Structure 1
Amino acid sequence: MLQERPAVTHWHAFDELSRRNASIPWDDSVLYLDHGDVMTSAGTAAGLDACLHLVRSQLGSDAAAHVARSLVIAPHRDGGQAQFVERPITPAAENAPIAAVLDWIDEHLEGDLTVARLAEVAHMSTRTFLREFQAATGSGPSAWVRRRRLDEARRLLEVTDHPVEQVAQKVGFGGSATLRQNFRAAFGVPPAAYRSRFF
């Protein structure tokens, strides 16, 4: 089925599968690979990323974000990200202050979301907040905010006709140049090219 196309598997099985299937170019540096008719992923957590990718591709970012929230996982991790993640997101019941901050971030993406402001929302010192946030999400606050802003920018590009400048302001990037730079770095295409897939 792969017909010599690249594939990915869990790092633990990588060497064995490489020996058994030498004709397949195995890639241990990604979370999942989508060829359109076949998809491979790097284990259970990466399988969820691949499923969200499919939901997003077929139903849009809103549906993917809804599913991600139900599963208490990040709405989007690119297939090109490395396999190793220190720890998945802690369920809300185990870390209510951080879960509340994640919700607050989603409601205030256009604001100035500094670490100090987020620590204040969590009612923690900056040092404690950074430690708790990393433990709960496997990510730093700045990286998390950037990803959520990009997810929301993508959603707005899919479902609205807002100019790119307006989208940038709504999600907290300030201006279209900053949005374009971050969007291209994350998704490989500029915002306008991404929007053209949906209109």
Structure 2
Amino acid sequence: MDLPHLDLQLREARGASEDPAIDQIAWESLATTIAAEVRTLNEAESNDLRIAMPVPPEKYREEIEAFQAWHAIADGARHNPVVVRALVMTELYVSFVWLRDSLISPTAEVVDESVLKEIDRFLRGGKVRKLRNAIAHGRWTYKEDFSGLDCWDGKPSRHFSISQDDYGKWQLLSRGTAIAIILALTADAK
């Protein structure tokens, strides 16, 4: 299964202040590589994954398609700060909490050492982990100039900032990875 359009989009996820340790060749065809890794699961592994997932892959596909439609609507209203704020809040939750915790990580657990495992490790570590926790626990706000996010992590609370460029690239990586997984797991993709 080749996913050239998604591969092209995911190339834009490179170059954040922290990136997953993925070689140049894999970055060029990231979605196609992830889908191929997921499709290497034998039938028993694929069935075990489906059982372990809280939501069937077909439902993720419906929800991600709805999210993509919402994204397109919001892109058409970028002049409206209320819409932009709602979009950012939705992107943050969908990318760093929902997709990572319920789709990417469970899939990475059953795939042998792979690009997908490296992306999962990346999304679970460093600044991305701290960002995910800040989102999940409501410990973030926009920077005064809207150039990124101010976040707090841990107890005692420690402040850190994430640039708009970083969270944009990281959410693209998370969302694109999830889409590649969904396409590989859903019946009409096989």
**Is this a same-fold pair by TM over 0.5?**
no
TM-score normalised over the length of structure 2: 0.28
Q: Which has the higher strand share?
A: 2
Task: Give the number of the structure with larger relative contact order, counting CA–CA contacts within 8 Å between residues 6 or more apart.
Answer: 2
Superposition TM-score, scaled by structure 1 size: 0.27
Q: Rg larger in 1 or in 2?
A: 1
